[in-house]
């Protein structure tokens, strides 16, 4: 659930950053530019090491063009780290729970800033199931470059041939459904028993 304090901070961020031009989203340039703007224009300290981008509040920063349809990366991990780490101790768990999402138009101008709360049992259960499925496949074969995800909400993929790490990704349609779930009042109406 997004708190009133988080809503206030979100509105401050929107006030300062809507309309700013970003570089291309290729190779993560747009996301890093958003982090830089958060530091220089809003005064929010960004973590550029292990963990989520704004650890004080548990937010991850993501930038995406509104017309994009490619899969979305949550985080990047070495295969041995995935094999040795259960979901709730993983970097994926840290980075998926709350995301500060910047949306740009085709000219790379920020047109929306939203705080998305994926830290809901019905959502985390889907992500955990996908993570653990991929993890079990990697335990059997640590050299996999892709874990099939039919029936799962996420998968691991080696997106750069020159590095050993795998990205945990969600297909665009899956992410859109998760985003819709964050906007739902389900958690306010029902008790979710997993």
pTM (predicted TM-score): 0.91
Average pLDDT rounded to a whole number, residues 78-98? 97
Query: Which DSSP letter does residue 164 get?
Result: -
103 vs 113: CA distance, rounded Å: 6
Percent of the chain with pLDDT over 70: 94
Average pLDDT rounded to a whole number, residues 105-133? 97
Average pLDDT rounded to a whole number, residues 69-81? 96
Q: Which two tokens stand for residue 112?
A: 């929306």
Task: Decide: 126 and 153 in contact? Cβ < 8 Å.
Answer: yes
pLDDT band at 183 (very low <50, low <70, confident <90, very high): confident
Task: Decide: 162 and 174 in contact? Cβ < 8 Å.
Answer: no
Per-residue model confidence (pLDDT) at position 134: 98
pLDDT score of 187 more than 70: no
Laid out side by side, the sheet with 72-77 consists of: 72-77, 166-170, 155-157
100 vs 51: CA distance, rounded Å: 15
pLDDT band at 178 (very low <50, low <70, confident <90, very high): very high
Q: Which two tokens stand for residue 79?
A: 């295969």
Mind listing the domains of the chain with CATH numbers? Answer: 4-184 (3.40.600.10)
Of the two residues 150 and 22, the one the predictor is more confident about is 22
Per-residue model confidence (pLDDT) at position 117: 96
| Orientation angle between helical segments 29-37 and 4-17, nearest 10 degrees | 110
Mean pLDDT rounded to a whole number for the chain = 93
pLDDT band at 193 (very low <50, low <70, confident <90, very high): low
Per-residue model confidence (pLDDT) at position 189: 44
Query: Which DSSP letter does residue 91 get?
Result: H
Per-residue model confidence (pLDDT) at position 26: 86
CB neighbours of 111 closer than 8 A, spacing ≥ 6?
18, 66, 103, 104, 105
Whole-number CA gyration radius for the chain: 17
The CA angle 116-117-123, to the nearest 5 degrees, is 115
């Amino acid at each position: 659930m997004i708190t009133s304090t988080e809503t206030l901070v979100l509105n401050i961020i929107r006030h300062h950053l809507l309309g700013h031009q970003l570089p291309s989203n290729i190779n993560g340039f747009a996301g890093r530019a958003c982090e830089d703007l958060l530091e220089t224009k809003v005064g929010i300290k960004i973590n550029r090491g292990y963990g989520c981008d704004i650890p004080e509040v548990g937010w991850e920063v993501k930038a995406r063009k509104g017309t994009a349809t490619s899969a979305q990366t949550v985080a990047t991990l070495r295969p041995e780290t995935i094999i040795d780490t259960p979901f709730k101790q993983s970097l994926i768990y840290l980075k998926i729970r709350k995301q500060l999402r910047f949306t740009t138009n085709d000219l790379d101008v920020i047109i929306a800033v939203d705080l998305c709360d994926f830290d809901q049992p019905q959502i985390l259960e889907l992500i955990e199931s996908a993570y653990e499925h991929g993890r079990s496949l990697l335990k059997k074969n640590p050299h996999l470059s892709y874990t099939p995800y039919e029936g799962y909400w996420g998968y691991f993929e080696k997106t750069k041939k020159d590095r050993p790490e795998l990205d945990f990704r969600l297909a665009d349609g899956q992410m859109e459904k998760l985003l819709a779930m964050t906007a739902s009042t389900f958690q306010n109406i029902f008790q979710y028993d997993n």
